[in-house]
Amino acid sequence: MPSSPSLRLILGDQLSAAISSLRDANPATDLILMCELRAEACYVPHHKKKLVLVFSAMRHFAKQLQARGFKVKYVRLDDADNSGCFTTEMERILTHSGCRNCVLTEPGEYRLRQQFEHWQAAHPEYNFEIREDDRFLCSHAEFARWAKGRKQLRMEYFYREMRRRYDILMAGSKPLGDQWNLDRNNRKPMPASVQPPAPTRFEPDTITRSVITQVAKTFDDHFGDLDDFHFAVTAEQAQQVLAAFISERLPLFGDYQDAMRQDDPWLYHSHLGAYINLGLLHPMEAIKAAEQAYHQGLAPLNAVEGFIRQVLGWREYVRGLYWLKMPDYRNLNQLQATRPLPRFYWDAETDLNCLRQCVQDTKAHAYAHHIQRLMVLGNFALLAGLDPEQVNEWYLLVYADAYEWVELPNVHGMVLFADGGIMASKPYAAGGAYINRMSDYCKHCRYDVKLKSGPDACPFNYLYWNFMAEHAEQLQQNPRMALAYRHLERMSAEQRQQVDDSARIFLEQLT
C-alpha cells in the first residue's frame, strides 16, 4: 500500500465502489480524478444516448464518492482548462497536488492501456500502478492458460470450465439437468398473443437533464436520438433493472431470446449489458440472482442457463479472446471483404424491412438485442461483404453497451468471420427463412421471402447463395457447411445464374 497520498484515476466504465483502484483508497489523503473527455466521446462518434448514459453515470458516481468523504477532482466536458486527454489531465493534477503515486485499474480497451503504459514509461518519477480489473471473472493469465495448446478456442468449453470453477448451476461435478447448454430449447418464435412487459424506466433527474442538454449541443452531429432517455444511471437503479428482469422477464427469456418483433425492441431481454459494462452492476450479482430464481422455482432451467451463459460464458470469453489476440486481431480480414457500409445503416432508408426495423431501434434506443445484431444487421454485413473496419466502427459507436473489448471479438469473429474461425466454427450466414421464422418482419416487407431470385425476392436469399459460391474454396471443407454446399451443387446452371445476376444487380445498386 502506498505510504504517501495517491491519485486514483477512475475511467468512465469503472463506476464501481469496489473497483481495484479504490480498494485501499484513503479518503483523508487520496484524490480521485474523473474526466469527461471529448477524445473519448469522439474517437468514434458515439450514439448520443450512450454519451448521456456514461456522463450522467459518471457524475452520479462522483457525487456518491464525495458523499462517502472522498476528495474528487471531476473534470467536466465544458471546463475551460479541460485538455481532452487522460494522461495530460493526470499529469496536471499530479503536479498541482504533490502526489507521487498514481493508481489505475487496467483500461478495458487496448488503445487506452497502450496510452497509459507509454506515459508510465516516460514518467519514471511517479509510482504508477496499473491494477487488474477483477470485476471480470477470468483474468488475462487464466484465459491464456485455458487457451494454451488448444487448436480451437470454442466458447462452449471455456463456459463449462467457468461453471465448474464458480459452481454455478452444478450438481456436484455435473451440470444441473445433465446438459451444459440448453440453447436448442431457446429458439422459439414469439406468438402475437404474447405481450412482454415494458422496460424498466427512470425519469431523468437534474444531473441527467443537464447532461442531455450538453450532449445535444456539443455532439449534435453524432448518430442517434436523444428523445425519451430512460436508462439507469446509478448502481441502485441498475439493481432495480436486474430485479425487474428476474421477476418479469427471466421466466420467458429462454423461450424467446432469439425472437424479433416489429416495433418492439425490448421483449424479454435483460437490458443489463450497458450497466454491467459501466460498472454499475457486478456480473456475479446478475449470475447469482438468476441462479437463485431457478432454485426458488421462479424461472425454468433453460431460461436461467441461457442468461448465465451470456454473462459467465460469452462476456468473459470475448474479453479473454480480445486481450489474447490484440493488437493483430483487429486487422484480420479472412474473407477479404471490402464493400463500403451502406448509408441505410445510418438512416434506415431501405426496402428491407428487417434492416429498417433494426436500424430504427438502434437509432432510437442505442440498443438492439443479440439476434438483431447477429442475424439481421450482421448477417447482411457478412453476405454483402462489408468492410470489417467500417462494420466494427459502426457497432462500436451505435450501442450503449459497446466497448472495443466486447464489440470487436463479437463482430470480427462471430458476425463477420473475419478471423477465419478463431472464434466461430462457421460463418453465421443465413437466408431470409431464418428471419421469417424468428420474427414478423417479413410480413411487413415489400420483398417476398419465399422467392429465391429476381427483383421481388428477399435479397437475403440470393445473397446467401452468392456468398456460399464466392467463398466455396475457403468454406466447403467445413463439416458444418457440408449440407449447404451439397444443396448448392444440386442447383441447376439456370438457378445459379439467376442467383448470380440478382446478387450482382443488388450489390451494384447498394454501392
Measured between alpha carbons, how far is residue 229 from residues 45, 374, 403 in Å? 18, 25, 20
Please write the tens of the pLDDT for every residue from 482-503.
999 999 999 999 999 999 999 9
pLDDT of residue 4: 80
Residue 331 C-alpha cell reads as: 486487422
pLDDT of residue 3: 56
The separation between CA 432 and the C-alpha centre of its own chain, rounded to angstroms, equals 24
What's the topology of domain 6-131? Rossmann fold (3.40.50)
Please write the tens of the pLDDT for every residue from 345-355.
999 999 999 99
Residue 465 C-alpha cell reads as: 447463395
* C-alpha triplet 94, 97, 101: angle, nearest 5°: 50
Indicate the pTM of the whole model. 0.96
Please write the tens of the pLDDT for every residue from 113-140.
999 999 999 999 999 999 999 999 999 9
**DSSP 8-state secondary structure symbol assigned to residue 199:** P
What's the topology of domain 140-325? 1.25.40
Q: Is the pLDDT of residue 13 over 70?
A: yes
* Cβ count near 483 (within 10 Å): 9
Rounded to whole angstroms, how far apart are CA atoms 439 and 502? 24
Give domain limits for the chain.
6-131, 140-325, 344-510
pLDDT of residue 464: 98
Please write the tens of the pLDDT for every residue from 20-68.
999 999 999 999 999 999 999 999 999 999 999 999 999 999 999 999 9
Residues 6+ apart with CB under 8 A from 406: 277, 315, 318, 319, 322
How do beta strands 170-171 and 127-131 pair? unpaired
Amino acid at 278: L
pLDDT of residue 1: 44
Rounded to whole angstroms, how far apart are CA atoms 401 and 31? 29
Predicted confidence band of residue 98 (pLDDT cuts 50, 70, 90): confident
What's the topology of domain 344-510? DNA Cyclobutane Dipyrimidine Photolyase, subunit A; domain 3 (1.10.579)
Average pLDDT, the chain: 96
Name residue 33's beta-bridge partners.
Answer: 9, 73
Mean pLDDT on 451-469: 97
pLDDT of residue 148: 96
